[in-house]
Amino acid sequence: MTKLRLAIVGAGPAGIYAADILLRTERSFDVSIDLFEHLPAPYGLVRYGVAPDHPRIKGVVNALRDVLDRGDIRIFGNVKFGEDITLDDLKKHYNAVIFSTGAIRDASLDIPGIDAKGSFGAADFVSWFDGHPDVARTWTIEGQHVGMLGNGNVALDAARMLAKHADDLLPTEIPDNVYQVLKNSPVTDVHVFGRRGPAQVKFTPLELRELGELNDVDMVVYDEDFEYDEASLEAIASNKQVKVIDRVLQKWRELPSVNNAGGTASRRLHLHFWAKPVEVKTDDEGNVTALVYERTKADGAGGVVGTGELREQPLSQLYRAVGYFGSPLPGVPFDHRHGVIPNHEGQVLAEDSNDILPGVYATGWIKRGPVGLIGHTKSDAMETVTHLVNDQASWWQPEDPSEDAIPALLASRDVKWTDLDGWHRLDEHEIALGEPEGRARIKVVPRDEMVKISRGE
């Protein structure tokens, strides 16, 4: 029987789901899958891109763990594609590769002053508070008023972490250095700015509700933002999710804190709708001092137009959560405009001709861009895997498809890779660190320490 030796680069949900779907697919060939991950631990953005106080993420992690723990997928963690292993290496040892490397960079925002001191990408902030081993462990939070640009789940996640009291995060897996910085934060007001209205937001009802549950944090909304046009009213009437969001916001309009009328909490989280960022103002040293934004209004076609009215909100720091952006991979075509690998339904396309490249596939955010939730990732992987199965005639013919070849290759290059047993060791170690303090776990952050624990060294 024909055997497919498949490499998957990226061990987040997209890569793990692709492996699981393929192994469950009815097919006429055997499958052997190796999963490569540049971090020493799996799960990608589920571990390093979601705020630690999200209990529902545990369910996602458990589902991913169940797939890996079956034992029919090999993991090679702490292996950097393009350095430790290359596309040419994969062609020598596999029939095909699926890239599922996601998108971890912040998308850019082209307005004056956006690169000022104290202006940050929210993705960098998220990586910091999630203990990502490849980002600096230091972070400074300054001033009482900070801003957040964006109306998606990442914007609300990051804004919630800035507004939340650090002690309320202690039951989670928050790293100790993150707790210390948040504990000493001077922030009293977090301002979230969105270009569109309340009926056009990108975040989910769950994310919004969580804001209202924060201890000693008042939600502040503004009556002027709720003059709905016909399209907004139609969205509220026809879309259950929009209806729930509107219900939550309308409830907040009844609170004492509406229009800054004076709640009792020590911190406030302001939602500013119809606010298009125009300029970041700075002082003589280049530090953020304010955000200038233009009031917008509905254009009747689902978009917005400017009103010409400019407003200014004093700020000491500004974070932008206007989307993630993919990173190019050595030897792999890349669409620099959209931050994805060019593809047709997961079949990777050549940059110069748009011809399908045999044996090369993509799934997840590196395939379609940073949109959609976990459920979309599953259907996305199904599409890619379907093409992979049907493309059997164009698979690579590897020189050495033996399963022993990859460990030997990595060993020859002195790569200290981690495997599934190593992840179990690290997982158990982190849980044990948290137990004395009644916490779910305490993450190990330094990469070299993660590797040593995983390898039992």
| 3-104+326-417: CATH superfamily | NAD(P)-binding Rossmann-like Domain (3.40.50.720)
Residues pairing with 32 in the sheet: 5
217 in a known ligand binding site:
no
| Structural tokens at position 222 | 């503004």
Cα separation, 132 vs 446, in Å, equals 8
Give the ranges where 131-262 is alpha helix by DSSP (H).
Answer: 153-163, 176-183, 205-212, 230-238, 240-253
- CATH 3.50.50.60 domain residues, the chain: 107-323
Check whether 373 is labelled as a binding-site residue.
yes
Q: End-to-end alpha-carbon separation of the chain, Å?
A: 40
Q: Are 216 and 265 in contact (CB under 8 A)?
A: yes
pLDDT at 375: 67
**131 among annotated binding-site residues:** no
Low-confidence ranges of the chain (pLDDT < 50): none
Strand intervals (E) in 200-303: 217-220, 267-272, 275-282, 288-298
The dihedral region occupied by 444, where left means phi > 0, alpha psi between -120 and 50, and beta the remainder, is beta
pLDDT at position 303 is 84
Tokens linked to 124: 């960098």
Every domain range in the chain assigned CATH 3.40.50.720: 3-104+326-417
**Is 152 annotated in some ligand binding site?**
yes
Q: Give the strand pairing for 119-121 and 317-320.
A: parallel
Determine if residue 428 is labeled as part of a ligand binding site: no
196 is in an annotated binding site: yes
Amino acid 246 reads: D
Q: Does the annotation place 105 within a ligand binding site?
A: no
Return the pLDDT at 372.
66
Which residue, among 94, 86, 78, has the nearest Cα to 34 in the 3D structure?
94
| 365 annotated as a binding-site residue | yes
153 is in an annotated binding site: yes
Rounded Cα gap, residues 194 and 202, in angstroms: 10
* Of 215, 162, 210, residue with least CA distance to 56: 210
Query: Which residues are CB-neighbours of 151 under 8 A, at least 6 positions away?
Result: 192, 194, 195, 196, 200, 201, 202, 203, 273
User: Global pTM?
Assistant: 0.91
Does 310 carry a binding-site annotation?
no
For 131: left if phi > 0, alpha if psi spans -120 to 50, otherwise beta; the answer is left
The reply, when asked if residue 27 is annotated as ligand binding, is no
The pLDDT, as a whole number, for residue 373 is: 65
Determine if residue 254 is labeled as part of a ligand binding site. Answer: no
CATH superfamily of 107-323: FAD/NAD(P)-binding domain (3.50.50.60)
